Amino acid sequence: MKNNQNIGDIPSGNWHFENINDNFIQAEKYSEILWESTTKYQTAKIIEGLYFGRSLILDGKTQSTTSDEFIYHESLVHPSLVQHQNPENIFIAGGGEGATAREVLKYKSIKNITMVDIDKEVVLACKKLLKNHHKNSFDNPKVNLTFGDARNYLKFTKESYDVVIIDVPDPLEAGPAYKLFTKEFYSLVKSKLKNSGILVTQAGPTDPNSAKQCFTKVFNTINSVFPLTFPYHSHVPAFGTTWGFVMGSNSEAPSTTEEIDLKLKQLSLKDLSMYDGIAHDGLFNLPKYLRASLYNETHVINDNDPLFVD
C-alpha cells in the first residue's frame, strides 16, 4: 500500500489544514479568507469555514468558530461566575473575539470588565468580522479594553478582581501567551484576587494522547498555588478533541446540579445554549484515565522552565 494513496479522494476546493498536533491533522473546507495578517505578535486569519462557520485562527490554531464557540465560551465563563457569590469586577486576559466578555455581561452584578489583549490588530479584525461572536460586547460601557500583555498589566494594577479569566492561545514557543501558563503568573493572579476570588483558564486538550502535554501540568501548577483546584473539560468539535479548563479558588467548591440550576434561575441568566446543572455535572465528572493522569502529575511549570506545546 503506497503512502498518500487516498490523497486524490480529498474533494477539490480550499482546505484549512489544522495541526491538532505534529502527527494529527484536521481539515475543513472554506469558501473565503476574510482577513489575514502577520501581526507584531502572531500569524492571524479569519476564514469562512464551510463546516464550522467563521473562524479565527492564530498561529495555525483555531481559536473559535461560529458553530461551536458557545461551547468553549460558556464552559470557560459560567462555572466560575455562577460559583462566585457576587461577581462585580472581572479581569479577562486575551479574549480577543469579545465572546468571553459577552458571556460575563450576562450577569447583572457585573460592574466592570477589564479586558487586556496583546494584539490590537486581531481584536479590531474580530470586532469587524466576528459580530456573532462578540454581539457588541466591546461597546458595552462596563467593558474596558486595553491593549498590552495581560501579565504585565496585572503586575502593575492596583485593582483586585472577583474572577480572573485567562482566555489566551496555547503556550506555543513562538507565541505571545506562554508566560501566562507558569506558577509565577498564577501566583500574580492570586495576589490580585479578592478573598473569595476565582481564577479560570483554558488548559489545552484532554484526550488520552494529549492530556499530559499541557492540561495535567497546568492543573498541577495551579494546584501548587491555590488551596482549591478544579479541572474540567468540554467537547469542542472545532478543536478536534475535548478541551480542558482549570479553576483555582480560595474558597468556593463547585456546586451540585440542583444548586447550579437554582442559581441560574435566581440570576435569570438568558441565552445559555450549553450550560446548566446537568451540563455542569458533565464538565466536572472527568473520565477515569484523566483523573489518573491528573493524580499522577508532578510537573510544576516555572518561568525558568516554561511549557511549550506543538
Q: Can you give the binding site for ligand SAM, defined by CB under 6 A?
A: 56, 63-64, 72, 93-97, 116-119, 122, 149-150, 167-169, 176-177, 180, 202
CA distances from 145 to 88, 98, 132, 141, 235 (A): 16, 10, 19, 10, 29
- State the nearest-atom distance from the C-beta of 300 to ligand SAM, in Å: 20
- State the nearest-atom distance from the C-beta of 273 to ligand SAM, in Å: 17
Closer by beta carbon to ligand SAM, 61 or else 263:
61
Q: Is 117 marked active-site? A: no
Task: Look up residue 232 and give its three cell numbers.
Answer: 474540567
Closer by beta carbon to ligand SAM, 54 or else 263:
54
Closer by beta carbon to ligand SAM, 150 or else 260:
150
- State the nearest-atom distance from the C-beta of 285 to ligand SAM, in Å: 23
Which member of 117, 119, 162, 167 is catalytic? Answer: 167
Strand order in 43-49's β-sheet? 14-21, 24-38, 43-49, 54-58, 61-65
List b or e across 194-203, with b for residues whose CB sees 16 or more CB atoms inside 10 angstroms: eebbbbbbbb
Closer by beta carbon to ligand SAM, 275 or else 277:
275
- Reference 171, options 163, 162, 180; nearest CA is 180
Chain-centre distance of CA 16, in angstroms? 21
Alpha-carbon gap, residue 167 to 210, rounded angstroms: 19
Q: Between vectors from CA 247 to CA 244 and to CA 250, what angle results, nearest 5°?
A: 165
Closer by beta carbon to ligand SAM, 119 or else 297:
119
- State the nearest-atom distance from the C-beta of 86 to ligand SAM, in Å: 26
- State the nearest-atom distance from the C-beta of 154 to ligand SAM, in Å: 10
Which sequence positions are flagged as catalytic? 167
